[in-house]
Amino acid sequence: MYKYLLIGGNGFIGTNIIYKLLEKGRDVYCIDVYDSNTKNIDDKHFKSFINDLSDTDLVKELVDATDIIIYLASTSNVRDSSSDSLIELGNIESFINTLEIIKEYKNKKLILASSGGTVYGEPGDMPVNEDHCLMPISPYGIGKVCVENFLKYYSSKYGIKYVICRYSNPYGQFQNPFSGVGVINKVLYDYHAGNETEIIGNPDASVRDYIYISDLVDATLEVAENKSAENNIFNVGSGRGHSLTEILTEIESVLGYKLRLKKGNFGIENVSKIVLDITKINETVGWNPKIGLREGISLNNEWIKQILDVQK
């Protein structure tokens, strides 16, 4: 029964992982500067610490008490770091400081959340596998490549066991609809709130790989607890590409309503097309996604309605 530490665990992905781990009866520790999604969890197996990573004594205690560390901490996204690239320096520094602590513990395993949607840049032929060269076109993607490389360096020098998960575009429950990140979540929220949705770029040309959050969580825990996955990199996605036009059509089908859309500008930092090859994770640990696009949108829609009901 592994004990887990989630660093930056109160966000979208981390919250879903925490609930899944508690469902499995695992002991879970979380450190984050926010407590928005997990503050109401009442479970003897869960302990939350609202703090940043500068408290090295606390981080050491938590690393010492656990077996698997899932690193999700980040203060940026593609949009934010494109307007202020220096944000990524803070992310990189925090990760290196964490590695400096973990390197003293030879029996720990570190799972790093990376970004399959940004690290490959514009790869051309798709789907793209893990061996493809990394050519990010955004500061956010550059930052992810940097921390990946630091992790591989520390593993080589100090023997840290790791898994890098390059996630595609996740969506689903606990994703913040007010952040403007996550097109499916944002479009559904705008519909129920009576807002127009700003569509960036050409919806026919914008192609992404979308994964429902429960599939992402299952994949993460599979590679975390499977020894054959150690010291490896895995794409985690659906393995299928959908244009923004397809996404909007599916959403309209689920809602039974024509969306109100407006055009926005497409930043040069946004990848136009990316689809991940998920053969490696399937062959290594036997994982495949279970939730199709239509079902995922329906589940996300129920989550948005639940949020709005709480606000009333």
Q: Which residues are part of the catalytic machinery?
A: 140
Residue by residue, DSSP assigns 131-190 as TSPP---SHHHHHHHHHHHHHHHHHHHH--EEEEEEE-EEESTT--TTS---HHHHHHHH
- Pairwise CA distance, residues 118 & 128, whole Å: 12
Quick check: 164 and 234 in contact, CB under 8 A?
A: yes
Strand order in the sheet with 46-50: 46-50, 27-32, 3-7, 68-71, 109-115, 161-167, 232-236
Instruction: Note the Cα 137 to chain centre separation in Å.
Output: 19
